């Protein structure tokens, strides 16, 4: 059995995210609840508004571990070796739900240990609205009580915590170190099957995907053909070195009018780490505040790229900045906007008070508009 390298020493906290292009899906995908009939894309969403009391966390106590920059091709992925290496950093996450958007019941997903003192990252849809959260670690028979630290529904990320020390944190891949065609493995508690986690092998099929969900849009996604099932949510997609390439979050399913085979999505490490760093700083159990522009949107129908402005609300950042109806937004901070989903995700990833440059096409002229985002209003 091949021997994987040990994790590198902790890296410095991640800097603010770099804006990058995001690609919209070429076909319309609907996002619906798990275990319902006619599902097109299964996000395993469940939750309520009654969250457990959260315990603040000091953002400076620990940094995420990030591997070195990639300088050469990766070796073939040894499934057994990678599973053995990553296994101690993977946990089952179980949540009791007390009603709300998706009703009462329970949720089971997967988590990634990110600090030696018990911080665990998972999907927000696994723990949102939980009245109690429990975690079971590799090799253990009894669950541990966990506390919700912070979550971000729009980015589908959450941080929880268990008591203790000496846990093995996972190592994330360095920025710009993922290539199309890289072999990757998904590991998690698919279908909540008894025993050890399930592992599935595939490749990186595409990068920087954007999809629309009931909670908004997710961008910066890694697309993979590794099988992802209910229960994999929040678990790692790892490369041949055992580094976390992404956090599994969604899978496309066929419908009466579309066919989908082996199309899964993971929130890329490059996308996730800045958001998780922000969640550490804002830990307290309430959702992270997202940027708000104040426009109505539609896709272009003439074959061009960008998002069409159909409405500008009065007294919003868009109105103040001079954005007009029928403008076509083609870039945010210099990075292309390829459709409505891309624009939603780009604004959502920013925060109230951020200054952003919105590039619009108005008639035959390109105009750069400076916009200071605000918080989304309650209504």
Cβ 108 vs Cβ 125: under 8 Å: no
Contacts (Cβ under 8 Å, ≥6 apart) of 66: 8, 11, 14, 171, 172, 173, 174, 269, 273
Both structure tokens of 237: 């997609």
Residue of 78, 152, 156, 182 marked catalytic: 156
How far does CA 326 lie from the centroid of its chain? 31
Both structure tokens of 16: 């603010």
Alpha carbons 92 and 136: distance in angstroms, whole number: 5
Alpha carbons 157 and 26: distance in angstroms, whole number: 25
- 379 catalytic per annotation: no
- 125 catalytic per annotation: yes
* R_g of the chain computed on alpha carbons: 20
Residue of 22, 48, 125, 230 marked catalytic: 125
Residue of 233, 268, 327, 349 marked catalytic: 233
**Residue 249 burial (CB count, 10 A):** 31
Catalytic residues: 125, 156, 233
């Amino acid at each position: 059995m091949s021997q994987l390298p040990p994790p590198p020493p902790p890296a410095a906290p991640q800097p603010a995210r770099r804006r990058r292009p995001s690609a919209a899906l070429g076909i319309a995908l609907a996002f619906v609840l798990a275990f319902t009939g006619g599902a097109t894309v299964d996000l395993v969403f469940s939750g309520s508004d009654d969250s457990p009391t959260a315990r603040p966390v000091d953002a400076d106590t620990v940094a995420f571990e990030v591997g070195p920059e990639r300088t050469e091709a990766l070796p073939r992925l040894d499934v057994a070796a990678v599973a053995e290496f990553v296994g101690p950093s993977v946990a089952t996450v179980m949540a009791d739900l007390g009603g709300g958007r998706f009703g009462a019941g329970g949720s089971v997903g997967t988590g990634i240990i990110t600090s030696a003192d018990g911080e665990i990252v998972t999907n927000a849809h696994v723990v949102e609205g939980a009245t109690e959260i429990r975690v079971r670690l590799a090799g253990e028979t009894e669950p541990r009580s966990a506390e919700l630290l912070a979550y971000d529904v729009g980015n589908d990320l959450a941080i929880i915590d268990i008591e203790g020390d000496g846990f093995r944190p996972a190592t994330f891949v360095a920025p710009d170190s993922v290539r199309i065609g890289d072999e990757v493995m998904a590991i998690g508690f698919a279908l909540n099957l008894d025993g050890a986690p399930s592992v599935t092998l595939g490749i990186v099929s595409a990068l920087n995907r954007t999809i629309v969900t009931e909670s908004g849009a997710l961008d910066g996604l890694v697309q993979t053909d590794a099988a992802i099932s209910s229960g994999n949510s929040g678990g790692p997609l790892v490369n041949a070195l055992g580094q976390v390439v992404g956090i599994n979050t969604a899978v496309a399913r066929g419908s009466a009018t579309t066919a989908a085979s082996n199309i899964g999505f993971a929130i890329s490490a490059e996308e996730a780490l800045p958001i998780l760093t922000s969640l550490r700083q804002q830990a307290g159990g309430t959702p992270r505040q997202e940027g708000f522009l104040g426009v109505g949107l539609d896709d272009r129908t003439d074959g061009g790229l960008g998002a069409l402005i159909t409405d500008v609300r009065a007294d919003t950042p868009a109105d103040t900045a001079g954005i007009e109806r029928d403008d076509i937004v083609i870039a945010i901070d210099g990075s292309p906007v390829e459709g409505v989903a891309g624009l939603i995700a780009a604004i959502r990833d920013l925060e109230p008070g951020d200054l952003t440059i919105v590039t619009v096409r108005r008639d035959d002229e390109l105009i750069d508009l400076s916009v200071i985002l605000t918080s989304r209003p309650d209504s």
